[in-house]
Amino acid sequence: MLTRTFSGLIYIFLIFICSNNIFSDFSYTYFNIKINAGLLFYILNSLFLLCCLVECIKLLKYSTFIYKLLTIAVVFILYYYSSIHYFNHSFYISSLYIRYLLTLLLFFLSIVTIFKYSNELYSDSSKLIFVLAYLGVPFGLSLALPNSYRDYTSEVFYIFLLIWVSDSFAYIIGSKFGKRKLFPKISPNKSIEGLLGGIFFTLVAGILIEYNLKILKGNWIVISLLISIFAPIGDLAESKLKRVFKVKDSGKLMPGHGGLLDRLDSYIICVPVVFIYYLILSKI
């Protein structure tokens, strides 16, 4: 339990210091060292992507080494394209509209594949396309979420915060009051009561964010509702994937939690969903 708590706190701490300007301001104020907060987030996001890639490739049980290398290469080529826009502050959601729609379609097809066509994931070529969509798209789009005129990425931190609220209260309410199973064949411990509890408390958190942090992009009551609905789907998708390939945890990077993919499954689906919301907002 102590190991699980410690690794969880490190995970939260890293996300916190890399997704806002507090650490950057602290280092400049006390040590006269200017650290770009946006660069910190980029480094962390890139490491998250790499770790999730390695874990996902292992989970999917590729049969050939060359396809493992090809998968990593193709995903990072897509990520490199997003990186250029991120550092040039040219990742405007209102532009490149068709390209965004195609990548989003590819991502949601990967989610449908997990639930409906998981038997299609037994050839290495199909696994490559799946990983490109399932990991390459959301991690690339995560670079588009922050405001382009700022050097820090508070939007990303509050997405994580809402996901943690959703997961935590779904677990607490489900443990105490859960009687009706949500999807027993995929995740036996999840209940309808837990889902509703997670939605309620995530909405409360979204209301608090909306009325106290006006600098953030978009309406955070809407975003909290989206996250409360889609975060559990991300969790279920990864649970389904692990069941198909008969794997208990995606890895051992976080003692007591499993792999990083186990921790980021909700984030992976919430990023494209929030991105779509921003896309719609830019057209209104």
pLDDT of residue 40: 87
Handedness of CA 74, 75, 76, 80 (dihedral sign): positive
User: Where is pLDDT greater, at 284 or 75?
Assistant: 75
At 37, the pLDDT band (50, 70, 90 cuts) reads confident
Q: What percent of the chain has pLDDT over 70?
A: 91
Residues 6+ apart with CB under 8 A from 246: none
Q: What's the pLDDT tens digit per position in 166-181?
A: 999 998 998 888 778 8
Q: Quote the mean pLDDT of the chain.
A: 86
Domain count, the chain: 1
pLDDT at 91: 62
Percent of the chain predicted with pLDDT > 90? 44
Kindly report which listed range (123-137, 148-162, 240-254, 264-278) carries the lowest average pLDDT score: 148-162
Which one, of 172, 223, 221, lies nearest residue 198 by Cα? 172
Nearest in space to 142 (alpha carbons), one of 279, 235, 274, 282: 274
Domain assignment of residue 67, given as a range: 2-283
pLDDT band at 90 (very low <50, low <70, confident <90, very high): low
Whether the predicted model's global pTM rises above the 0.95 cut: no
Contact 68, 53 (CB under 8 A): no
Confidence of residue 148 (pLDDT cuts 50, 70, 90): low
Helical pair 97-116 and 220-244, crossing angle rounded to 10 deg: 40
Tokens of 162: 């809402």
Q: What is the pLDDT of residue 87?
A: 79
- Tell me, what's the pLDDT at 284? 63
Greater confidence, 257 or 42? Answer: 42
